[in-house]
Chain A
Amino acid sequence: MSTRTQVLKKPFNLRLDFWHFVIIAAFILIGFFLIYPLFNIFINSFWQDGKASLENYQEFFSRKYYYSALINSFIVSTSATFFACVLGIPVAYAMSRFNIPFKGVFHILIILTLLSPPFIGAYSWILMLGNNGFITNFLANIGIEIPSIYGLHGMIWVFTLQFYPHIYLYVSGALKTIDVSLEEASSSLGVSGFARIRKVTLPLIFPTVSTGALMVFMASFADFGTPMLIGQGEKVLPILAYDQFISEMGSNPAMASTLSMILLSVTTAVLLFQRHIMNRKTYTMSSLRPPKVIKLSPVKRTLATLMVMGIVTLSIIPQATVITTSFLKTNGPVFVGGFSLDSYREVLYKVPKAIQNTFTYASVAIVIMVIAGLLLSYVVVRRKSKITSFLDALIMIPYVIPGTVLGISLIIAFNKPPIELTGTWVILVIAYVVRKLPYTMRSSTAILHQIDKSVEEASISLGVPPMKTFFKTTAVLMIPGVLSGAILSWVTTINELSSTIVLYYGATATITVSIYSEVFTSNFGTAAALASMLSLATIISLIIIMIISGKKEISV
C-alpha cells in the first residue's frame, strides 16, 4: 500500500485553548488591580505641586517626625522577630522531640493565636495591662506599680506573642525532616546535649527559621491595628501612611504614596535578603530516618510541659480575656459586675450590617479565590513556562505588600471616573482577593504536585476531551487542597483590618472596623462580643479545614 511520503513542514495549527485564556485573563486582572495601582503610587510619590520632584523623599529623611517612624518600625519588628524566635524554637523543639501531653490541644491553640487578628490581642492586653486594666488595677490595689503597656515595648510584647507561631510551625516542619543519623553522628563524635543542638540541629534548621522570621518581620512591620491601639504617640510607618492619607487636617496623598513606597522597599529588601541567605545556606535533606519522640524522665517532662504550657497560655490569654469580657455586664466603658448577653444584644442592634458585610464580602472573596486558585495553580504547575512562572511571581507579590499600602494604592487608582470603585464593597473584595489569594495558591499548587499527571492523559486517551477531563479528574482531586487554602484565606479575610480601614466607607464597615471604632470609643463590651464572633468563626473554619484535609495538623 502506498502512502504520501512528503514531509509536512508545518503540520499543525496553533490553537488557543481554554488555558491560554486563563493566562491572558489573569495577566489583565493582575495588571489592573495590582500593578497599575502600585505603579500609580510609585509615580505619585515623585509628584509634588504638579511637577516631578524628590521633595517628598527629601522631606521624609530630613524630618524627624517621618524618619523616626521608620526607626520605630525597625525596632519593633526586629525585636518582635528576635523574641518570637526565642519563644518559637524551644516550643517547636519540645513539641516535636519530647513526649509532652496534650500536644494536639497546644497545637490548635498556637494556630488559633496566629489566626486571630493582632489588634484584638493588643486590645485585650489593654484590658489587662492598660491604664485601667484589671491586672493593673489589681496590682495597684496591693501597692505594686507596673509600667504601662502603651508604647513600643507594648507592640513588641503583642507581636511576639501573636507571631511566634510562625516560627513554631516552620521549625516543627523542619525538625521532622532532619535525618536523625546526623545528630547521632554528632553524639558519637562526642558532641551532645545543648552543644549538639547548637552545632548540628540549629544550623540545619537555620534556613527554615529564617523563613519563619521573615513572616514575623513582615507581619509586625505591616500591622496597623496594634500600633494604632497600643502605640499612643509612638508612630510606626503604616500608621503614618494612614494618617497622611486620611488626615482631618487635609490629606496628603503624595506623602502617603511616598510612605507606601518606603514601606514596600523595606519589605521587598527584607524578602530579598532572606532569599539570599536561604540560597547560600539551604541543605537538602532526604529524611531517611526521621527523629523519634524521646521519652523524658518525669521531672524533665514536667519542666518541658510547663515551658510549652506557659508560652501557649500566655499567648492565648488575650482570646480568653476577650471571650470572657464579651459576657460581662457593662455600662459603656465601665464593667458593672456580673454576667450577661447584653454586649451581644447591643452588637446585633448597633452593627448588624457590619456582621453581615464581613461574612458577605469574605464569602464573595472565597468563591473568587477557589475558582482562581483552581485555574491559576493548574496553569502555573502544569503549563510551566517563562510566562506562567512570571505569573506565579506576580500572584505572590501581595505577600510583601502591607495592607495599608494596598488599600491606599487601590483608592488612588480607582477614585475617579472611568472606574470609580472607592466606597463600594467591590473594592474591598478586590483587596481581599489580591491580598489573600497567595494562601489559596500555595495549598492548591501543593496538592497539584501530588496529583499524577498521567491521570489526565489516561482520561483523554479514553475519549474525554481535555477540558472535560480537567473537571472530571484533576479538579475533583484538587478540591481538598484548594478548599483548605481558600478557607485559610477566608479566615484571614474576616480578620483583616489594615486595608479595610483604608477602604471602608460607612455602609461597608466590617466587624474588624467596628471593633476598632468600639475600642476607640471605649465600648469594650461590644468590641469583645464582636471579637468573640470572629474567634468562633475562626475556630469553626479551622475544624472544617481539618475535616476536609483529613489531617490533624494545619500548615498556615
Chain B
Amino acid sequence: MTIKWAELAIVAIATIFSAGTVVLLYGLGVRLAAVAADRRPKGALQNAVSKACFGLCGLAVVVGVYLIVPYFH
C-alpha cells in the first residue's frame, strides 16, 4: 500500500495558502473600505486600494475557475 504523503502535504499547504490569500485580500478590502467610509469625504486612496484588493481577490477566484475547466489547459 502506498499512501501519497507528499501529495497530501502539498494539498494541505495549497489549500491553506490559497484560501488564506483570498481571505487576506478580501479582508483588507473590507477594512480599507471601512476606513475610507470613516474618513469621507477624504479617504480616496484607501478607497482605491480597497477596490484593488477586491479586484485581486476576484482574480484569484477567476484563476480557480481556470483551474476547474480543462478546456483552457
Q: Are both chains from one complex?
A: no
